[in-house]
Amino acid sequence: MLFTSLVTKRSRSMKCPFCKAEIPDNARFCTRCGRNLPRRDRSENEGHSPDG
């Protein structure tokens, strides 16, 4: 039961900007309407410069 509560606290959700469905915060597309979601976190690009 403790594990479940820890997982629940770590899982964040947001609303799809298109259909307002509740979806995981790290989702790349909406599980209800299927539309691609705008990227909010740019930390994946850290360390990569456009100059090469």
How far apart (Å, rounded) are the C-alpha atoms in residues 17 and 8?
A: 23
Q: Residue 28 has which token pair? A: 């790349």
The answer to whether residue 52 sits within a structural domain is no
Return the bridge partners of 15, or none.
Answer: 22
Domain that holds residue 24: 9-36
Q: What is the pTM of this model?
A: 0.53
The answer to whether residue 47 sits within a structural domain is no
Which pLDDT does position 38 carry in this prediction? 87
pLDDT tens-place string over residues 1-52: 455 445 555 568 999 999 999 999 999 999 999 999 988 754 444 455 555 5
The answer to whether residue 19 sits within a structural domain is yes
- Residue 21 burial by CB count (10 A; 0-12/13-18/19+): exposed, middle or buried? middle
The answer to whether residue 48 sits within a structural domain is no
The answer to whether residue 18 sits within a structural domain is yes
Q: Residue 33 has which token pair? A: 């309407």
Instruction: List the alpha helices (DSSP H) in the chain.
Output: 2-10
